[in-house]
Amino acid sequence: MKNFSLLVKPASFNCNLRCEYCFYLEKRNIFRNAKLMSSEILEKMISSFLSLKMPCHSFGWQGGEPTLMGLDFFKKVTFFQEKYGNVGITVSNGLQTNGTLLDDEWCSHLAKYNFLVGISIDGPPEIHNKHRFTASGEGSYELVMRGLSALKRNNVEYNVLTLVSDANANFPIQIYNFIKELGCNFHQYIECVEFDNNGNLTAFSVKPPQWGEFLCKIFDEWYKYDRFKISVRLFDSILIKLVDNISNVCTMSDNCRQYFVVEHNGDVYPCDFFVLPELRLGNIMTNTWDDFINNPIYNDFGKRKSRLNQKCKECKYLFLCAGCCPKNRFGKGPVLPEKLSALCEGWELFFSHTIERFKGLAEDIKIQRQKELEVVKISFAKVSNPLRFQKVGRNEACPCGSGKKYKKCCGK
Active site members: 272
In this structure, the number of other CB atoms found within 10 A of the CB of residue 36 comes to: 17
What's the Rg (C-alpha) of the chain?
25
Helix (H) or strand (E) holding 48: helix 39-50
Among candidate residues 25, 44, 2, the one with its CA nearest the CA of residue 267: 44
Among candidate residues 249, 277, 273, 246, the one with its CA nearest the CA of residue 261: 273
In this structure, the number of other CB atoms found within 10 A of the CB of residue 384 comes to: 10
* Gap between the Cα atoms of 309 and 234, Å rounded: 23
For 96-108, what is the HEC assignment? Answer: EECCCCCCHHHHH
Return the beta strands (E) in 171-224 as ranges. Answer: 186-191
Chain mean position to CA 114? 15
- Residues paired with residue 93 on neighbouring β-strands, in sequence order: 59
SS3 call for 222? helix
Chain mean position to CA 170? 25
- Residue 405: DSSP 8-state: B
